[in-house]
Amino acid sequence: MRASRLALLALLLTAPATAQEAPEATDVTAATIRTFIDALPRDRVSDRPIRVVDVTGDYRVGVFGVFRPESLAGGANKHEVNTTEIYYMLKGAATLVTGGTMLPPGPPIPGTSARSPGIEGGVSRRLTEGDVVIIPGHTPHWWSNLESDIEYLIIRPDPDNRLPLK
């Protein structure tokens, strides 16, 4: 009996472990990004999903393309969600302010954002091609000055699964 238990134990220890199936990786190529950004309307701010995927069933991650014309800097936002935004500048130059106090507070967009004409205080930085900034959820942010039209990607890790899959 002892020999059979030892043989079973040896078999269990030497058998290959069954690995859980890893989630599939998702590609968003430079060509896909360029084609997408080039097709965005040029007469308004566009913030549209290129791809949104479910990663491990626990949260989603979205890659969004944005075109913002120089003539439409827009107001400040404070997203009342846990989704972080990671901006990656593709083209142009602009000043982004994060943190501080939104003045005067604007009415919230139900369930998502507060808006206002600007921010008092906060950290101001000039972003150009290749720069990255990480904006946690619940953080006021505002393009205070656009030196040109700007194009950028927003990567949105979404722990609350709010982003629709695409």
Domains detected in the chain: 45-158 (2.60.120.10)
Q: How far is CA 110 from CA 37, 113, 151, in A?
A: 28, 7, 27
3-state DSSP percent of the chain in helix, strand and coil, to 5: 15, 45, 40
Percent of the chain whose predicted confidence (pLDDT) is above 70? 81
Residue 45: C-alpha distances to residues 5, 74, 122 (Å): 69, 8, 23
* pLDDT score of 109 more than 70: no
Indicate if the pLDDT at residue 136 is higher than 60. Answer: yes
Question: What are the backbone angles phi and psi of residue 165, rounded to the nearest 5°?
Answer: -65, 145
pLDDT given at position 100: 95
User: Confidence class of residue 111 from pLDDT cuts 50, 70 and 90?
Assistant: low
- Cα 139 versus chain centre, distance: 14
Global pTM?
0.82
Predicted pLDDT at 156:
95
pLDDT at residue 137, as a whole number: 92
Closest CA to 79 of 60, 96, 98, 93: 98
Band (110; pLDDT cuts 50, 70, 90): low
Task: Render pLDDT for 55-94 as a digit per residue (tens, 0 to 9).
Answer: 877 889 999 999 999 998 788 988 888 899 999 999 999 9
pLDDT band at 9 (very low <50, low <70, confident <90, very high): very low
Q: What percent of the chain has pLDDT over 90?
A: 60
Q: How far apart are CA 117 and CA 8, in angstroms?
A: 71
In this prediction, residues 89-101 reach a mean pLDDT of 97
